[in-house]
A and B are shown apart, each in its own frame.
Chain A
Amino acid sequence: MPDDARFGLRRHVTLAGPLRLDGGMLLSPVEIAYETYGTLDPDGSNAVLICHALTGDHYVASEHPVTGKPGWWTRLIGPGLPVDPARHFVICANVLGSCMGSSGPASENPATGQPWGMAFPVITIRDMVRAQAMLLDHLGVARLRAVIGGSMGGMQALSWASTFPDRVAAAVVIASTARHSAQNIAFHEVGRQAIMADPNWRGGAYYGDGAPPTAGLAVARMAAHITYLSEAGLTEKFGRRLQHSPERPNGAKSFGFDADFQVESYLRHQGISFVDRFDANSYLYITRALDYFDLAEEHGGLLANAFRHTTARFAVISFDTDWLYPTSDSRAIVHALNAAGARASFVELSSPFGHDAFLLDAPEMNRVIDGFLRAGER
């Protein structure tokens, strides 16, 4: 396998398709950027698919080429960690609609030779999962030992177990939900409106020589970032402390609209650094996919029906300070799993860090995932 060009870091594949989308369109070809770590067992039984969150990418355990930062889940994936390339064949793909190498609004529309822009079809979480399934076919992976995801990645994990019940042995669903709430949709709409209100957005046709709508995207990111934290976490980190600067080394109010408060300057930094690595149109498409997500609706309104055919084991994990996808959302998943007779585990972990807790140091989460995965490897 070492000389098989399908496996390794920074891979990109163009699959002929077509991929039939929930919106009715056929997409072809389908480009997918991905990485793999570890070696696929001869019987193909050790594959673990990692699903990323809204603004994530496939650089899950390797250095990000734009930011130079380590992978976004190196706390979970690595030697001696719950997902261990010595034991697992790890796959992470950039989702459909994103901007890090998979088909999305910034990629080329074969019909025009130009970037898709807003002509790119609206996609769903299930479409992302179907594209991942095409990638697995390409890699020769028939069945996943586990699919693991947090936030939007958790929705993909649920969708995987529901859409391809025969291909999933275990699913880990962290800080996630089976449906987007009105509040979730409302926050996303604020972000989308910020992007579309930016004069540089120009109906999404800003690729090429035009300047992208970075101001709008930064505002969208700032609004969303607040939902990833908790009030207690923000208070602990920043409180009402003032920002130090060369002009005001001890911090003072400017009696203007500079970033006087540390929390303001933190959010501005989050917004500005985000635009370097993310495309505004992708943000529109992926937030839309999240808003459309309602796994029960796809199954006649009854969530348990989504799991009727699954034989997978499930681990559902929530964090007590997550108000984006609160524990009650996870409980709804667990109730449905119980009603369907699925083998489900659920735990609410304590963390001060809100929704983002799953990306941070969470030893209890690691312990649970490790035990859960090993139970399937006995």
Chain B
Amino acid sequence: MFSEFLQYLFTGITIGATYALIALGFTLIYNASHVINFAQGEFLMIGGMATVSLMSMGVPMLLAIVLAVVLAGVMGIALQRLAIAPAKDANVVTLIIITIGASIFIRGLAQLVWGKEFHVMPNFSSDEPIQIFGAVLNSQSLWVLGVGAVLVAILVYFFTRTMTGKAILATSMNKDAARLVGIRTQMVLMLAFMVSALLGSIAGIVVAPITFTSYDIGIILGLKGFVAAAIGGLGSGVGAVVGGLALGVVEAMTAGYLSSDYKDAVAFSMILLVLFFMPRGLFGAKVVERV
């Protein structure tokens, strides 16, 4: 009994950590621009696919990962420069639609370059699963959790302790005022897109050994990440993490104790319940307009 519960919990936490990493990417761009970047899932795909294809060309794993992350970062900048920036003063909904278009474009490109097959990435460390009280944990899950924790810590530090992080927050609160105090808002936005692309691609790389990777993996994972971000309260880093973990654990428990048929239904009921009782999500900040 206990070992089963533990198994579901491990499963849930692993999937949940993936969702959390994706949700963090959404959060970052939302914080900077109030845009929900639906191309976030594509960065995830780029990370995984680029690493796999570089490795198949004989590039050592670590270098392949670094190059893939750099590639994703460049694409993040390109997305902001070529698609978001030219739209200038367009309203948020328009910008969100642009990100959906960009996502379809990137996916199409990936399909041309890499084909439609699923690809495998080896585990970072050993293939031997870890036994804990009769439940097993894939060693890759520890990588997902560890990398997730480090990224969260870096982000928290970045937003609360660095000027650049604060500049991003300031831009998000009031673009014009931020510009008046000397923040180069276009630069800040570009930075936000780049960092969230980096985040997405790292998430894609650490989960690829578990989920496999293909040109369209970003759709489903991106959607789940968005649900996690919404549960946690868009814009809250802690919320993204808690939302992701909660979603993953609820899914795994439902699959284990009820039936996997209800798993997605339970996830969506969860977002409805949270939004019904706490419209800003679990950790959503109250909006204070200072005039």
Do A and B share a complex? no
- A-side interface residues toward B, CB under 8 Å? none
Q: Please report B residues at the A interface, Cβ cutoff 8 Å.
A: none
